[in-house]
Amino acid sequence: MSVQFLKPQIAESFSRAAVSYDSVAQLQRRIGHHLLAQISLSSADVVMDLGCGTGYFVPLLSEQAKPQQLICLDLAQGMLRYARQTRATPNTLWLCGDAESLPLADNSVDLIFSSLAIQWCEDLAALFSEAARVLKPGGRFLFSTLGPNTLHELRDAWSDVDSFQHVNRFISFPRLQVCAEGYLQKVSLIETEELLLYDQLRELTAELKGIGAHNISAGRQSGLTGKARVIAFKQAYEQFRRSDGKLPATYQVFYGDFING
């Protein structure tokens, strides 16, 4: 199944969420910290934070990798503006750009760090081709991304109500591996699962809106969602309520470590 995202809408959605993102992004930080721990203590001259968002990991990358230059790139101008204002770091270059068409020279980067960003790329072949182009020989691409089982409870609950696409669709593990290995050499690619628990469904939907990651894919419903259908959706989600009274939300997470061999 083709994954289709509308890039202007992606940029606009995340730009709007710049101020609220950090307050509701506990899972995103946890995943990013896990990815950050994979970076060795040896320094890298040029590091890129691909999809830097609010810049949360900018000072951490600067401390961990000690780069001579840190390139922070994001599709959302609003995110970049917020990051520059709140996470100013020496030797940092801020770029608004597309991961599928990087505004960088060939063989210019030692390490690409990208946490929960590449799932918004429609053309993964272009993404990995670009990563291979800008990485120096032996350069490393560390990333985390989301799989198609992410928020399956939300998707299943809506499927009981209508046939519209209410949940973003992400790429499968086999497809991700094939795309990456077409351009880079695999060190590791693993799958994990994160489970978030909520008392009320509105906590989950407010969190998704707060990080700008509500449904922004092609095929979604346009216009307002009717009150009756929202009620039906909430009732459908109740089938997932656990014995401890909590509502679950599953995130399927892939961690990749590839080198430009």
Domain that holds residue 14: 7-259
Question: Could you read off the pLDDT of 40-80 as tens digits, one per residue?
Answer: 766 689 999 999 988 999 999 999 999 999 999 998 888 88
Does residue 58 belong to any structural domain of this protein? yes
> Residue 240: which of 228, 232, 248 has the closest Cα?
248
pTM value is: 0.86
Does residue 128 belong to any structural domain of this protein? yes
Question: Could you read off the pLDDT of 170-204 as tens digits, one per residue?
Answer: 899 999 999 999 999 999 999 999 999 999 998 88
Average pLDDT over residues 224-241: 85
CA 166, distance to chain mean position in Å, is 18
Quick check: 213 pLDDT over 60?
A: no
Does residue 1 belong to any structural domain of this protein? no
Q: How many domains in the chain?
A: 1
pLDDT tier for residue 147 given thresholds of 50, 70 and 90: very high
Average pLDDT, the chain: 86
Does residue 2 belong to any structural domain of this protein? no
Does residue 222 belong to any structural domain of this protein? yes
Domain containing residue 136: CATH number: 3.40.50.150
